[in-house]
Structure 1
Amino acid sequence: MTNDLDIDHLRQWIGREEVKSERATPALVDRFRATFDQEREAQGGEAAPVMIHLCLAPPTAPTSGLGPDGHPARGGFLPPVPLPRRMWAGGAFAFHDDIRVDEVVTRRSAIRDVTVKHGRSGVLCFVTVDHRIESGGRLVIEERQDIVYRDVDTPADAPKDAPAPAPHGAHRVRVAPSAALLFRYSALTFNGHRIHYDNPYVRQVEGYPGLIVHGPLQATQLVQFAESIRGRRPAQFDFRSLSPLFDIADYTLNATEDGDGLKLWTAYADGPVAMEARATW
């Protein structure tokens, strides 16, 4: 399959743009808050929860247009990378203002770059997407999204040495990645990828030990954690995914002071760092 990767063809997607809009309704805000155990009903005009923009105007491929893994068929806005596994590898958020309940939120997206790298596990294709999020006509968020496509894991992909366990943060909370939480977040983001809610599929077809915790879900939890520590949302949040988290055990959100900001990460109790991030105000 990797021999079919025509980088010159895929780079023709650079500069492609897409514009999507949706109203940040009180009902959506209530569902978002309920998913994260925030018990408060939305009021029109108030600031919506941070990171709710990831749940607004998601891609809406018809069910008949989904592949066997639940992802939309390749092509369209994103380039048709012929590698079977796709993940949110990292990115950055610059928060300029709040989305407000009942405002129309518009996401203007553009493909910035498409590159190929050769790693220990084979060919990796990276797609960088820039998003400008407007709410009520105001620029509220600028986002960079790094997407990586890769081939199916092989036994040779396993690291020779086990990674070191993550440290405990000065601030630390435990999260139970229940199937209900993962399903609810998939529903909020209209994400049909079966690795997040279909246990027989993820074990028997993908070969993973359990349901995978979404990268955007972890990023949302870390931004919320940073906001709870400092009392306000950060101005900048940068993150990178290093290893997957599954629903087979609880994981932790960690934070420690880091100059003018916070260093944050997710990890199993005695496992390696799964997602690392830095927030500044």
Structure 2
Amino acid sequence: MSDTHSTAIDAEHLRSWIGRQETAIDTVSIDLVQKFNATLDLTADLPVTGDIAPLLINYCLAQPVVRGSLLGHDGHPQKGGFLPPVPLPRRMWAGSSLTFHGDFHVGDAVTRNSRIVDVAIKHGRTGLLCFVTVEHRSEVDGHVVVEEKQDIVYREAATAAGTVKTDDPAEPASIGTYTRSAPVDPTLLFRYSALTFNGHRIHYDQPYAVHVEHYPGLVVHGPLQATLLLNFARDLKGNVPKRFTFRGQSPLFDHDRIFLHAVESDRGLRLWTAREGGPVGLSAEAVWE
């Protein structure tokens, strides 16, 4: 663990961000839905106003728009605006818990209200961690369509190639009752980054991902994996679950052969992604109750 980072973090100052809010507005446009469907290879049909929008398209809506001069070296907005200025260099989407109250439709004007609800400093196997929890409520005409509690984790820097770790043991993933191949490649990652206006360089800039953050390749987005798993769950059960939670366990990369897995559970489905012969990448649960 880095003593420098330990003494540099002012937990009380960071927790003063709790309660901060921001609101953003966006539209579920025909163009966005067409590009989203094409990127995930969902359908070639041209969407029309009123169609039900694809699952988790909310991750493409009302994203922070920051001038290039205000981005950090990693491609993220500089810290200290809506999100607290956590002095740890590596930022990842740790997981989310979503509740679906309805569907987005093509043509909807969506208002996303976000609020920081917690900031917590922890010590894990990887060193010092800071978790920032954000609540998002996405509304259409004053009615909440999706509620989400998102956890963002900040970590200390990796020091050499091959040193990237996770907080969970890297045990080989089991094979699900249901499985589906999920091909990924750099083009898919680049297009998904563009759709979500995500400038984080680990997803599209291989020299940066390998030589600066010491990953073995481009990192597959957590919400992209979640979108693939949620579509898998919907296809298996025939309808959209009421609740869906996911948590990152181990990074997956553009050169991996990735599979989606699912098994029945008492409340619905337990799902996960994994590369062939590797540990769980993203674990998830879909509940229809």
The residue type equivalent to 1:278 in the other structure is E
SS at 1:32 equivalent: helix
Q: Could you tell me how far 1:154 is from its partner in structure 2? A: 4.6
Q: Could you tell me how far 1:158 is from its partner in structure 2? A: 5.4
TM-score by length of 2: 0.93
Residue equivalent to 2:35: 31
Residue equivalent to 1:129: 134
Task: Give me the whole-angstrom Cα distance separating, in 1, the residues matched to 2:9 and 2:169.
Answer: 31
Residue equivalent to 1:8: 12
Contact 2:114 / 2:135 at 8 angstroms: preserved in 1? yes
Matched, 1:95 2:100: yes
What do residues 51-109 of structure 1 show as CA deviations (whole Å, max 9, x unaligned)? Answer: 00010011011111111111111111000101000111111000010011101011100
Of the three residues 128, 145, 148, the one matched with 1:143 is 148
Of the three residues 248, 262, 282, the one matched with 1:275 is 282
Residue equivalent to 1:55: 60
| Structure 2 unmatched runs, 5+ | none
Q: Could you tell me how far 1:136 is from its partner in structure 2? A: 3.2
Task: Give me the whole-angstrom Cα distance separating, in 1, the residues matched to 2:221 and 2:80.
Answer: 22
Residue equivalent to 1:196: 203
Identity of aligned residues (%): 53
The residue type equivalent to 2:82 in the other structure is F
What do residues 211-268 of structure 1 show as CA deviations (whole Å, max 9, x unaligned)? Answer: 0000111111111111111111111001111110011221111111112300000001
Residue equivalent to 1:107: 112
Q: Could you tell me how far 1:153 is from its partner in structure 2? A: 2.5
User: 1:191–1:203: structure 2 CA closer, same or farther, 3 Å change rule?
Assistant: same
User: 1:158–1:201: structure 2 CA closer, same or farther, 3 Å change rule?
Assistant: closer
SS at 2:13 equivalent: helix
Alignment of 1:213-252 (within 5 A): 213-252=220-259
Matched, 1:18 2:19: no
Residue equivalent to 2:83: 78
Matched, 1:69 2:74: yes
The residue type equivalent to 1:226 in the other structure is A
Contact 2:164 / 2:214 at 8 angstroms: preserved in 1? no
Task: Give me the whole-angstrom Cα distance separating, in 1, the residues matched to 2:266 and 2:136.
Answer: 28
SS at 2:173 equivalent: coil
Task: Give me the whole-angstrom Cα distance separating, in 2, the residues matched to 1:7 and 1:49.
Answer: 39
User: 1:44–1:12: structure 2 CA closer, same or farther, 3 Å change rule?
Assistant: same
Contact 1:209 / 1:248 at 8 angstroms: preserved in 2? no
Residue equivalent to 1:209: 216
Matched, 1:183 2:190: yes
Q: Could you tell me how far 1:16 is from its partner in structure 2? A: 0.3
Q: What's the RMSD between the two structures over aligned residues?
A: 1.5
Contact 2:170 / 2:250 at 8 angstroms: preserved in 1? no
Task: Give me the whole-angstrom Cα distance separating, in 2, the residues matched to 1:157 and 1:97.
Answer: 39
The residue type equivalent to 1:109 in the other structure is S
| Structure 1 unmatched runs, 5+ | none
Task: Give me the whole-angstrom Cα distance separating, in 1, the residues matched to 2:169 and 2:152.
Answer: 25
What do residues 129-159 of structure 1 show as CA deviations (whole Å, max 9, x unaligned)? Answer: 0011112332111100001101012578758
Contact 1:100 / 1:135 at 8 angstroms: preserved in 2? no
Contact 1:166 / 1:270 at 8 angstroms: preserved in 2? yes
How many residues in Structure 1 have an aligned counterpart in Structure 2? Answer: 280
Where does structure 1 differ by over 6 angstroms across 4 or more consecutive aligned residues?
Answer: none
TM-score by length of 1: 0.96
Contact 1:226 / 1:262 at 8 angstroms: preserved in 2? yes
